[in-house]
């Protein structure tokens, strides 16, 4: 594994806090590997602002980078990966409890949640927004709060989680019937989809059977959930897509792609059958979506073209202009242009963050 970019807290895992990629002779063959232990390689990665976690081939978890709130599972206030002899075999596993093996791991700003192979969820790191779902806002991540001391999240009677999706300040869980989900954490602009702005998970009697299912209406089975920053989006097996929530301070960027700038999910009568489909072209369907924090969204269509909508002033939409798209009529559907990726190139995979857009192309190159 290779990592590049900022390494202020050791999140590149290369034994230094020096950034990689901003000077000559730092990438390519000059870029050292991030080593996670003899005979072990990562099969899944997740990251937050300044930390990274990996599921290894033995289905155990290692985390490194910033640990101010216990993100590493090794204690508070100790960066890992910015000095020699902290990575590779020196890096300890995050203690998740006896017999707990990781299937999916997802990181938020300063926290991590893990879905085990037994379909149970544990979370650690910073808990001030109730995003753990433990009925409090305490941080977890030192030895006294990890391992068997770290509880499973109580998601309700008779429900089997099969996938977990994170955003910066909340989580969503998809259950085994592929038609039900629950969300918890902060809901400033209706991110949770419960028709209000009430946060859930940080107080007693907010989780388990007290936490309702999100009303998504009479829809086909859910194919995928993407929680792009502040905007959960559901894609269904018919390749349609519905989104709700907003960017922080309102959906003033148009990243929901529904032709207006209102928050969705923070008021009654906005979810379920009232959800408006995000349409990106006549006769076209969405095969992949990603959202970049609260600013912009992009989709891959069934013909492997790329379209983006949202913010106007940072050029992440890749159209060569500074126009905002998605918050007014006649900006979406067939009016929304495709991104020019180069002659003969189509998009295979999509990766957005707060201030940039990256794609893997059909020849496995990267832009």
Residue 163 sits in a domain whose CATH number is: 2.130.10.30
CA distances from 326 to 149, 179, 234, 236, 244 (A): 46, 27, 17, 21, 14
CB-based burial of residue 78 (10 Å sphere; 0-12 exposed, 13-18 middle, 19+ buried)?
A: middle
CA dist., res. 49 & res. 210, Å (int): 31
- DSSP code at position 273: G
In a domain, 107, yes or no: no
Q: What is the model's pLDDT at position 235? A: 83
Q: Which of 7-11, 247-251, 313-317 shows the highest mean pLDDT? A: 7-11
Name the pTM for this structure: 0.86
Which pLDDT score, from 0 to 100, does residue 43 have? 95
For residue 226, being part of any structural domain is answered with yes
Residue 137: per-residue pLDDT: 95
- Asked if residue 274 belongs to a domain, the reply is yes
Least confident range of 13-27, 206-220, 332-346 = 332-346
Domain count, the chain: 1
Report the mean per-residue pLDDT for the chain: 88
pLDDT tens digits along 227-237: 766 778 888 88
Whether 316 is covered by a domain: the verdict is: yes
Residues 6+ apart with CB under 8 A from 23: none
Of the candidates 124, 177, 175, which has an alpha carbon nearest to the alpha carbon of residue 146? 124
Q: Which of 26 and 325 is assigned the larger pLDDT? A: 26
Asked if 198 and 187 count as a contact pair (C-beta separation under 8 A), the reply is yes
Does the residue 311 lie in any domain?
Answer: yes
Percent of the chain with pLDDT over 90: 52
Q: How confident is the model at residue 312 (pLDDT cuts 50, 70, 90)?
A: low
Residue 316, domain extent: 154-367
pLDDT the model gives residue 317:
58
Three-state secondary-structure class, residue 115: strand
Within a domain: 78: no
pLDDT band at 249 (very low <50, low <70, confident <90, very high): very low
Mean pLDDT computed over 322-329: 74
Cα separation, 59 vs 316, whole angstroms: 35
Element (H, E) at 168: none
CB proximity list for 291: less than 8 A, separation 6 or greater: 226, 227, 228, 229, 230, 231, 233, 255, 297, 352
Q: Which of 42, 43, 47, 44 is nearest to 4 (CA)?
A: 47
Is residue 141 included in any domain, yes or no? Answer: no
- For the record, the structure tokens of 350 come out as 């999509």
Contacts of 364 (CB under 8 A, 6+ apart): 348
Give the separation between CA 102 and CA 140, rounded to whole angstroms. 18
How many angstroms separate the CA atoms of 202 and 153, rounded?
12
List pLDDT tens digits, range 119-136.
999 999 999 889 999 999
**Per-residue pLDDT reduced to its tens digit, 79-117:** 999 999 999 999 999 999 999 999 999 987 899 999 999
Q: What's the pLDDT tens digit per position in 164-204?
A: 887 778 899 999 887 799 999 988 888 899 999 999 999 99
Write the pLDDT tens digit of every residue in 35-72.
Answer: 999 999 999 999 888 999 999 999 999 999 999 999 99
Q: Within a domain: residue 73?
A: no
């Amino acid at each position: 594994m290779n990592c590049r970019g900022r390494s202020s807290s050791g999140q590149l895992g290369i034994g230094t806090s020096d950034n990689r990629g901003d000077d000559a002779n730092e990438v390519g063959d000059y870029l050292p590997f991030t080593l996670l232990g003899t005979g072990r390689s990562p099969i899944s990665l997740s990251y937050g602002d300044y930390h990274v976690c990996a599921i290894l081939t033995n289905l155990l978890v290692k985390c490194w980078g910033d640990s101010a709130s216990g993100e590493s599972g090794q204690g508070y206030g100790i960066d890992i990966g910015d000095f020699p002899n902290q990575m590779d075999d020196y890096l300890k596993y995050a203690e998740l409890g006896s017999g707990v093996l990781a299937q999916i791991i997802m990181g938020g700003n300063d926290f991590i949640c893990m879905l085990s192979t037994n379909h149970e969820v544990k979370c650690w790191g910073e808990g001030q927004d109730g995003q753990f779902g433990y009925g409090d806002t305490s941080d977890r991540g030192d030895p006294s709060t990890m391992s068997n001391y770290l509880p499973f999240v109580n998601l309700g009677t008779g429900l089997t989680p099969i996938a977990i999706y994170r955003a910066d300040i909340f989580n969503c869980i998809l259950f085994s019937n592929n038609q039900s989900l629950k969300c918890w954490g902060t809901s400033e602009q209706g991110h949770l989809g419960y028709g209000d702005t009430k946060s859930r998970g940080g107080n007693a009697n907010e989780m388990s059977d007290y936490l309702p299912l999100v009303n998504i209406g009479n829809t086909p089975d859910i194919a995928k959930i993407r929680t792009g920053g502040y905007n959960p989006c559901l894609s269904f097996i018919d390749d349609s897509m519905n989104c709700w929530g907003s960017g922080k301070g309102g959906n003033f960027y148009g990243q929901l792609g529904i032709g207006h700038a209102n928050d969705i999910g923070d008021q009654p009568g906005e979810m379920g059958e009232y959800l408006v489909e995000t349409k990106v072209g006549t006769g076209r369907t969405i095969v992949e979506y990603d959202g970049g924090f609260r600013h912009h969204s992009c989709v891959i269509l069934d013909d492997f073209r790329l379209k983006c909508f949202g913010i106007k002033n940072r050029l992440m939409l890749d159209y060569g202009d500074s126009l905002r798209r998605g918050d007014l009529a006649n900006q979406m559907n067939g009016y929304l242009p495709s991104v020019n990726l180069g002659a003969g190139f189509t998009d295979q995979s999509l990766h957005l963050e707060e201030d940039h857009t990256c794609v893997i192309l059909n020849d496995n190159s990267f832009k």
